[in-house]
Structure formats: structure tokens, C-alpha cells
Chain A
Amino acid sequence: MGFFTGLFWLAVAIIAAMAAGWVFRQAAIAVSPKGVAKELRTAPLTASFGMLMIILYILAAFFAPVIAPFSETEIVGREYQAWDNVHLLGTDNLGRDMMSRLIYAARNTVGIAFITTALAFLLGSVLGLLAAVVGGWVDQLLSRAVDVLMAIPALIFALLLLTIIGTSVINMILVIALIDSTRVFRLARAVAMNIVVMDYVEAARLRGESLWRLITREILPNAMAPLVAEFGLRFCFVFLTISALSFLGLGIQPPTADWGSMVKDNATLISFGDITPLLPAGAIALLTVSVNFVVDWQLHRASGLKE
């Protein structure tokens, strides 16, 4: 029976999510200027639900001190208190308010993940497209350099670098962005290589278009789709990398809250059927799914399919 109850609640959750998405879309259309409203109408319910969630996350991140009932670091009770009226989601392994830490973590985690991913894409895609378009020794040099970096297992490489330079947030962003950018480079280059051999690119070259124009006007628009898809995933991989690093003993400086470390700190509870670690893990999952729903919508628009 447990299975069917689960199925029932899953259905309820999906319906509620879609309903929220619908309400949000109607509201957004009503308040948006005409052009934006027209775009919004094309959004499927999943994408509007995704946007709603992203906005909620961003609000939580910005207004964490206002929303959170307690401070991020204050010890307000005994460890692992049950859920009650005061501590809505109970307390963590040190007796800090779980709910407040989840909210503060949105600020730290989303911020770090966004900056890291943006940096990785800036570096990776620019160099990747450049390598594909220019070719020759530039391509060789960049590709071999990336090969070398990728040939070293990412987690172990991150572990090495962070142990050497220290685990400040800045260092962590830089190291993860560097490692991630190699993956982006490869993808961008692979996609662009297929486009570079197209006739219209050849034509543009013969027209004497500048390198910058070639990349931004001819190649990029056609390479956008896989890159955008990759962005959605890379974004959430950053949380996972931080979480894996904290599994191996590195990670964000305490007492700063971040979802990855919160999963790690409470993870052993799951062996006894306690769902506490599912809260931060769920926060990551919900954001990942939301971001990717929006990405899918944009992907669909970019593909030019009219159906």
C-alpha cells in the first residue's frame, strides 16, 4: 500500500506544482509589458513553475535575514529537536535552527554556484568557439591544454589544488570554475566544429567577416542549444562538487550554511529512515529541476520548432 500512497502524494505534488505554475504565469502575464507577456504565453506550465521557484529562491537569498526566524549560526536549542511550532523544521546536529540555515544556505549556495558556472562558461565557451573557428595551432594548443587538465580526475585535482591554495570561497569558485570550464570548452568546440564546416559559415568567411562577428553572429546562435542545456546541468554540479569535497573533508568554512555540506553533515540519518538530510538535498533538487525546466523551454524556442 505504501507504494500507492506514495504515488498518490506524487500526483498531488505534481498537480499542485502545475497549479502554482499556472497561477504564476497568469499573474506574470498580467503585470508584464506586452512583449514579455507574449513570450510568457509560450511558456509551458513546467517552465512557469520553474520560474516561480527560481524567483522564490532568489527572494529567499536576498531577504534571508528578514525571512529566517533565527540567525544562521546561533545555537537555539538541543541538537536534533523534532519539528514544532518554534523550529518549523527542527534543529541540526549542533542545535541550530534548520529552517533558518536552509534559507541562509540559499544565499551562499546559489550565489557561489551561479558565479562559478558563469565564470566556467565565459572561459570555456569563448575559448572553445575560438579554437573551432581559428583552428590550426591555436586549436591544438588549447585542446591539448584542456586535454591535460581533463586527464586528471576532477575531484582529485580539486582536492590537490584546494589543499595547496587553501579553501576560501574565492579559491573554491576559481578552482571549480577552472575545472568545469574544460568540460564546457570541449562541448563548445565539438558543437562548433560541426557548424564550422557548414556552407553558410564558409560563405561568411569568404565575405570577410571578422572573427568576433563570425563567432557571435554565425556560430554562437547555432551552438547555443547544447550550451544552454549544459549550463543547466553544470549549475547544479557545482553544489555536488562542493558536497563531494566536504565528503572528503574540504568545503565551505563553517559556520556558513550551504546545502551541500548540510546534506553531508546529516547524511547518516537516512540509514535510519530519518528524512532530515532530504531537506537540503531536496532544496538542491528542486532548484535543479526548476532551472532545467526553464532551460528546456528556452531550448525549445531556440530550436525553432513550432509545435
Chain B
Amino acid sequence: MSRLSGSHGISRRGVLQGATALGTAALITPYGTPLRAAPKRGGTLRVGMAHGSTTDAMDPGTWEADFMIFQAHTRNNYLTEIAADGSLVPELAESWEASADATQWTFVLRSKVEFHSGHKLSAEDVKASIEHHLGEDSTSAAKPIVEGITDIKADDLTVTFTLSNGNADFPFVMSDYHLPILPAKDGKIDPTTQDGCGPYKIASIEFGVGASYVRHDGYWKAGLPYFDGIEQIVIHDDAARQNALLSGEVDYIDTADLNTVSLLERSPGIEILAVTGTQHYGLPMDTRAAPFNDVNVRQALKYSINRQQLVDTILNGFGSLGNDHPIGPGQRFFNTELEQKAYDPDKAKFYLKEAGLDKLDVDIHLADAAFAGAMDAGVLFAESATAGGININVVREPNDGYWSNVWMQKPFAGTYWGGRPTEDWMFATAYSEGAAWNESFWSHERFNELLVKARSELNDDLRREMYFEMQDLVANQGGTIIPMFAAYVGAYSDKLAKPDQVASNWRNDGHRIGERWWFA
């Protein structure tokens, strides 16, 4: 059913295997994993979510937190999809191919896809959905990732994108959660629409409170979804969320409090879901400001942090060591040869001496808004750094306004990244010179040169070599301490059944728990 065209850039990367099994989805989970028992249909899934604000909005350009991203994948489909194993598979696009220089991408859409409203999917819908984020006056948070698109042509079921520069990872970009395909009318989408072509339709939604969904009977993925409906409930408070799960008010919670997760695990009928992917926590330093403009000072700080202690204490073991670069161990070009930094006060002293200092006083500005446990992480960092002659003063900043007032404003702060599915996307977003989110204001000639070169390189071995070097550069020259990769830790009632492999690109099985899970 879904044969892929042999676009060289894609097929050679070998990321699309497994997608051919879609035709027999009743016996096989959508993405090729055989099941222990055939999934059943029925039941209403009740999900407790840690995020969700009364200021959320339907406009895809404003989506930022989990409540709306979950909503997005429950109601909508995308051109492409990141499968549970991290590979890219087709969704609304049946196939795609690129021009030789990767500047022109042609997607062929599935026929007979129907929106909840009955509207039939056509290339016009795709064009309007993407154009919503483009243009001078675009207010979309996704503007930077689609900026390279200079032209979109729609013809029946074929869409052609023209890019200003070659990008071998463009199909990955099309899976971004900001870019759902919405129905177009007169060449424009209505950003406030509640229509979509995903597995469930919205029955009601109240921002900051919750949403309910019912199954979309005309869903094109055969046999899916399994649940009759979904209740999505916002429960901000950690204890309240866990209590709701324990008392059976919800079947699944997206975030478990790490302090008590071991107690939760021991409760009867409760399972913990922990996946480590690309989510990482970091402490960016402004590489333009003294003393962080000296790479020796940055190295001294990197050796002063006790990574193992942070993983054990802040993450309660639900995560892995970070090595000061943002690429996760599961990613294609993860540098396996790079030495793992460890806590070493002597090395810290050595680098301080190199910088011409015998002691160092710095302020670090944190709030738990930066990442869960950031304040505690700061306290632990300060404790461990004293041995190397570094005195760190942890300044508590208000959660409110953290991202506009502290992050990228103070020279030393905290940050988190959900991560990006490709190395290029991650590096380009937060490490390339002049990028809006280059949090450490890092500018490294060799790195920037490699970044551009690797993006259009189609030979995997050469690409790997370049990405290895870039990870080394970021880790040992860069301005961000990345002490840990954090798992997404949720919990669910054992009444729920899940596929063998759970996606790690986002929480909630890539936010697609609605079409991937079922009631046992």
C-alpha cells in the first residue's frame, strides 16, 4: 500500500523501514512491532496532565506545552511521523522525493483521507497549513523552522516545497508538532478550527481545565484508534495527579513526581513508564561575558559538576549522564568515542589555573521553571564545586517570567530542551552562530562551517565524521554544561496495555498514546 519512492537522500539513511506494514494494521501495530495479544477496542482513556493553562489557544502557532501538543496529535495528523523506534515514517504523505541538491521536496498525499467535518484532504490543505506559519507578519513559534521555505506548489495530491538552501532533513521538519494539516478554505486555514483528520475529534475543550474527545470513525488508519474516547484533565499539582491515579480517577498521568516515584511504583496496579530520549537539562553560560568568555573557566565549571549525583538525586536515576552536548545516545550520529566527563575537582583547579585564577565566584540564576529540580540541582552544583575552588551562588529567580527575564538574559542560568529528532536541527537551533536560541551566544568558526556542510552532505560516513567532531567541539569548547539527559517519567494503571516499544521523542508515547495504546 505505501510504497516509498526511492528518494536517495531518504532511502539511504534507512530510516523508513517498517512503514510498509501499514496495510495489515489490524494484526500488527502501526509501525511493525508484533503484538503479544491483539489490542481491543473500547473504553475511555482518562489522562491526567501536568501542564495546561487557561491562556492556551487553538492556533497551532502558539502551541508550546504538553496539553496542546497532546491535543495536536490526538486530533490531527501530520505529513510525516516519528515512529516509536525514532525512525521517520509517512503519515498523510504517502511518499516523497527530493531534488539532487535537496532544495526541492515533493510529497504525494494519501487519497481518501477525511477530516472530522467530512472535508477531503488535498494538497491545498497542506499548502495553507504550512503557509500559516510563514511570512513577514507570522506570529508562529514555528516560524524559524519553516523559514527556509520559499515556495509551496499544490496540485491535487502533490505538494512541492522549494527551499532556499538544501536540507536533507526536511521531511523530519514536517513532523513538528506545530505543523498539523488543517482544512483550508479559500487558500487559508482557520487557526481557531477544532477540525482535524487525526484519530479523535474534539467533543469539548476548556483551556486550563481539560478536553474530551470521541473516536473519529472515518479515520484512515485501518482499525485505529482503539479507545472510544479520551478525557484529558489538567492536574498541575504533583501530589494531586498521583492521588488521582492511585484512586482510579485517571488511568494515566503524563508526569510522575521523581521524589516519590519509587513509592508510586510499589503501589498495587500502578506501572511506571520511563523513556530516555533527547530531553536534556542544561546550564548555559554567556560565552561573551566574563568570566565565561574564557574557555578554561567553562571547562573548570564542567569538571566541577557531579553528574552522577545529579542523575541519582535530581532524576532519582531516571535519566543518563550528559556530556555537555545535546545529542542523545539513541541518535544516529551520537559520538561513541567522546570521553565521558566526570566530577574532578583537580581538573577544575587545573583549568582555573590555566585561566590565571586561583578561585572563582559566580552567580547562577535558576528557577524550577528551567527544569524540574533546577533549584536543587543548583544547590548540589554549588556544594560540589567548592572542592575545586569555585564558589557558586545560587540565585532563586521567580518561575514567572523566567524565559523572558532570566534565560538568555543572565550570564549563567538553566534550560531544558525536549531535543530535536535530528542532529542538524538541534545544533542549528541552539548552537549555531546567530541562531535566536543560541543560549550561550557561542560562536565557533569551525563548528558553524561543519554545520552547513553536514546539512547537505548525503554520505552517511562523512556526515557521521562531521557530527562526531561537532559534538566534541560543543562538549569541550562550548558554553553549555549539559549534566544529564532526563527520562520522561509517567505512570499508568495496569488496566492499560502498551506496545512493546514506546517512543522517546516526546512524553506520552510521542503524544500518540491515543492511537498506540488500548485497554487490556
Contact = CB atoms under 8 A, between A and B. Distances in A.
Direct contact of A and B (CB under 8 A): yes
A221 interface: no
B260 A272 contact: yes
B259 A249 contact: no
A249 B263 contact: no
B376 interface: yes
Given A94-B380, A95-B313, A271 B399 contact: no
B236 to A, nearest CB: 11
A304 interface: no
Interface stretch (B66-74, B98-106, B321-329, B390-398): B390-398
B383 A163 contact: no
B378 A254 contact: yes
B135 to A, nearest CB: 34
B356 interface: no
B383 A75 contact: yes
Contacts of A94: 313, 376, 379-380
B268 interface: no
Contacts of A271: 239, 242-243, 246, 260
Interface in B234-290: 238-239, 242-243, 246, 257, 259-260, 263-264, 267
A161 to B, nearest CB: 11
B375 A254 contact: yes
Nearest to B261: A268
Interface in B378-416: 378-380, 382-383, 394-396, 398-401
A262 to B, nearest CB: 13
B113 to A, nearest CB: 43
B46 to A, nearest CB: 19
Contacts of B264: 272
Contacts of B484: none
Interface in A133-169: 159, 162-163, 167
Contact of A249 (B239, B257, B369, B380): B369
B486 interface: no
A79 B377 CA distance: 13
Nearest to B313: A79
Contacts of B243: 271
Contacts of A270: 239
A23 interface: no
Contact of B400 (A75, A80, A163, A255): A163
A268 B382 CA distance: 26
Contacts of A272: 260, 263-264, 267
B400 A93 contact: no
B246 A253 contact: no
A104 to B, nearest CB: 14
Contact of A268 (B257, B368, B375): B257
Contacts of A251: 396
B396 A268 contact: no
A272 B266 CA distance: 10
A73 B394 contact: no
B352 interface: no
B379 A249 contact: no
Contacts, number: 68
Interface string A262-290: 00001111111010000000000000000
A209 interface: no
Given A268-B259, A272-B263, A167 B398 contact: yes
A167 B395 CA distance: 10
Nearest to A245: B398
A278 B264 CA distance: 19
A249 B242 contact: no
Nearest to B316: A79
Interface in B310-336: 312-313
A79 B399 CA distance: 25
Which of A159, A162, A269, A270 has the most chain B CB atoms closer than 10 A to its own CB? A269
Contact of B398 (A163, A269, A274): A163
A202 interface: no
A275 to B, nearest CB: 13
Contacts of A255: 379, 382, 394
A108 to B, nearest CB: 14
B263 A274 contact: yes
A251 B399 CA distance: 11
Q: Which of A78, A94, A250 has the most CB of B within 10 A?
A: A94
Contacts of B398: 162-163, 167, 249-250
B184 interface: no
Contacts of A268: 238-239, 242, 257, 259-260
Contact of B401 (A74, A75, A163): A163
A30 B411 CA distance: 62
B487 interface: no
Nearest to A248: B399
Contacts of B368: 249
Contacts of B312: 78-79
Interface in A93-128: 93-95
Interface in A230-264: 248-251, 253-255
A36 B75 CA distance: 76
A162 to B, nearest CB: 7
Interface in A201-245: none
B179 interface: no
Contacts of B400: 159, 163, 249
Given A93-B259, A251-B396, A254-B394, A267 B239 contact: yes
A75 B380 contact: yes
A254 B396 contact: yes
Contacts of B378: 254
B377 to A, nearest CB: 10
A167 B396 contact: yes
Nearest to A96: B379
A167 B365 CA distance: 13
B393 to A, nearest CB: 9
Interface of A: 73-75, 78-80, 93-95, 159, 162-163, 167, 248-251, 253-255, 266-272, 274
30 contacts: A73-B379, A74-B383, A75-B383, A79-B312, A93-B313, A93-B376, A94-B376, A94-B379, A94-B380, A162-B398, A163-B400, A167-B396, A167-B398, A249-B398, A250-B399, A253-B394, A254-B378, A255-B379, A255-B382, A255-B394, A268-B239, A268-B257, A269-B259, A269-B260, A271-B242, A271-B243, A271-B246, A272-B260, A272-B264, A272-B267
Interface of B: 238-239, 242-243, 246, 257, 259-260, 263-264, 267, 312-313, 367-369, 375-376, 378-380, 382-383, 394-396, 398-401
Q: Which 5 A-B pairs have the closest CB atoms?
A: A249-B399, A272-B263, A268-B239, A163-B398, A255-B379
Given A249-B400, A255-B394, A269-B259, 8 more contacts: A80-B259, A162-B398, A249-B368, A250-B399, A254-B394, A266-B259, A267-B239, A271-B246
